[in-house]
Protein backbone atom coordinates (compact mmCIF):
# COMPACT_ATOMS: atom_id res chain seq x y z
CA UNK A 1 0.00 0.00 0.00
CA UNK A 2 1.35 3.38 -0.94
CA UNK A 3 1.87 5.63 2.07
CA UNK A 4 -0.11 8.87 1.91
CA UNK A 5 1.54 12.06 3.12
CA UNK A 6 -0.65 14.19 5.34
CA UNK A 7 -0.81 17.96 5.01
CA UNK A 8 0.24 19.95 8.06
CA UNK A 9 -3.34 21.04 8.79
CA UNK A 10 -4.42 17.38 8.78
CA UNK A 11 -1.67 16.47 11.24
CA UNK A 12 -2.71 19.35 13.50
CA UNK A 13 -6.35 18.26 13.38
CA UNK A 14 -5.40 14.69 14.28
CA UNK A 15 -3.35 16.03 17.20
CA UNK A 16 -6.34 18.09 18.35
CA UNK A 17 -8.70 15.10 18.26
CA UNK A 18 -6.06 12.93 19.92
CA UNK A 19 -5.69 15.45 22.75
CA UNK A 20 -9.46 15.49 23.33
CA UNK A 21 -9.64 11.69 23.30
CA UNK A 22 -6.76 11.41 25.78
CA UNK A 23 -8.41 13.92 28.12
CA UNK A 24 -11.68 11.97 27.93
CA UNK A 25 -9.81 8.76 28.70
CA UNK A 26 -8.17 10.24 31.79
CA UNK A 27 -11.50 11.63 32.99
CA UNK A 28 -13.13 8.27 32.38
CA UNK A 29 -10.48 6.38 34.36
CA UNK A 30 -10.83 8.82 37.25
CA UNK A 31 -14.66 8.67 37.21
CA UNK A 32 -15.09 4.94 36.64
CA UNK A 33 -14.39 3.80 40.23
CA UNK A 34 -17.06 6.23 41.50
CA UNK A 35 -19.83 4.62 39.43
CA UNK A 36 -22.06 2.39 41.57
CA UNK A 37 -24.69 1.29 39.03
CA UNK A 38 -23.60 -1.92 37.28
CA UNK A 39 -25.19 -1.07 33.94
CA UNK A 40 -23.67 2.41 33.88
CA UNK A 41 -20.28 0.98 34.92
CA UNK A 42 -20.47 -1.45 32.00
CA UNK A 43 -21.25 1.39 29.59
CA UNK A 44 -18.35 3.45 30.98
CA UNK A 45 -15.92 0.53 30.65
CA UNK A 46 -17.07 -0.06 27.08
CA UNK A 47 -16.53 3.63 26.33
CA UNK A 48 -13.02 3.46 27.80
CA UNK A 49 -12.06 0.50 25.63
CA UNK A 50 -13.42 2.22 22.50
CA UNK A 51 -11.57 5.42 23.38
CA UNK A 52 -8.31 3.48 23.84
CA UNK A 53 -8.83 1.88 20.42
CA UNK A 54 -9.54 5.28 18.82
CA UNK A 55 -6.36 6.74 20.35
CA UNK A 56 -4.31 3.86 18.98
CA UNK A 57 -5.81 4.32 15.50
CA UNK A 58 -5.21 8.07 15.56
CA UNK A 59 -1.58 7.57 16.57
CA UNK A 60 -1.14 5.19 13.62
CA UNK A 61 -2.26 7.96 11.26
CA UNK A 62 0.48 10.31 12.41
CA UNK A 63 3.82 10.25 10.64
CA UNK A 64 6.77 8.80 12.55
CA UNK A 65 8.90 11.38 14.30
CA UNK A 66 12.59 11.01 13.56
Task: Report the share of the chain in percent with pLDDT over 90.
Answer: 85
pLDDT tens digits, 9-21: 999 999 999 999 9
Flag whether 4 is in a domain. no
pLDDT of residue 49: 97
pLDDT of residue 64: 80
Instruction: Please count the structural domains in the chain.
Output: 1
Q: Structural domain of residue 35, as residue ranges?
A: 10-61
Mean of pLDDT values over 18-37: 96
Flag whether 30 is in a domain. yes
Flag whether 2 is in a domain. no
Flag whether 1 is in a domain. no
Q: How many CB atoms within 10 Å of residue 3? A: 6
DSSP notation for 12-44: HHHHHHHHHHHHHHHHHHHHGGG---HHHHHHH
Flag whether 44 is in a domain. yes
Helix (H) or strand (E) holding 54: helix 38-61
**pLDDT surpassing 70 at residue 3:** no
Flag whether 3 is in a domain. no
Amino acid sequence: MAEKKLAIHEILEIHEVLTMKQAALVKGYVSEPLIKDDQLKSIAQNHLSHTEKAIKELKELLPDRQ
